[in-house]
Amino acid sequence: MGRFLGGSKLNTPDDERRVHPRYESSFELAGSPAEGGTTARLIASNLSLGGVYCTSDQDFPEMTRLAVRLMLPSIGARETLEPLDVSAVVVRRKKLSSITDRSRFELALLFTALGPEQRDRISQFLGARAPVADAKG
């Protein structure tokens, strides 16, 4: 929990609102605004049943609804990737500094509605990984 100093609460890492543990994982995904538009290539750095933390070459403002396609190993075949389509909203966005002309952004995406099949695929993918104690996402 946060600490109080002079009557105001200081935010600490313990103030996180996460419900699900995060798992370090690097994989590709694609995202586009739910109402249509350009599809961006995203690279995940961690994943949970609640969402994904990733980098993007395209900027999506906070509260943008995205159609996201996760490329996860198929059940029983680690070498074969199969798409998993989910809905998400951008809850955090940070522009990264760059020495090139290409902009990069860190995005925290919150899954908005996972069905049982989607939840099962993500759970199975995460099952072989250990939770991350202090990563973003």
pTM: 0.76
Residues 10-65 pLDDT 10s: 333 444 566 787 878 888 888 888 777 788 899 999 999 999 999 998 999 999 99
Q: Do residues 137 and 91 lie in contact, with contact meaning Cβ atoms separated by under 8 Å?
A: no
Instruction: Report residue 20: phi and psi, to 5°.
Output: -110, 140
DSSP helix/strand/coil, 6: coil
Q: Where are the chain's structural domains?
A: 20-131
Residues 79-137 pLDDT 10s: 788 899 999 999 999 999 877 777 889 999 999 989 999 999 999 888 866 566 654 44
Q: Do residues 72 and 84 lie in contact, with contact meaning Cβ atoms separated by under 8 Å?
A: yes
Longest dimension (CA), the chain: 57
Its CATH class, for the domain covering 20-131, is mainly beta
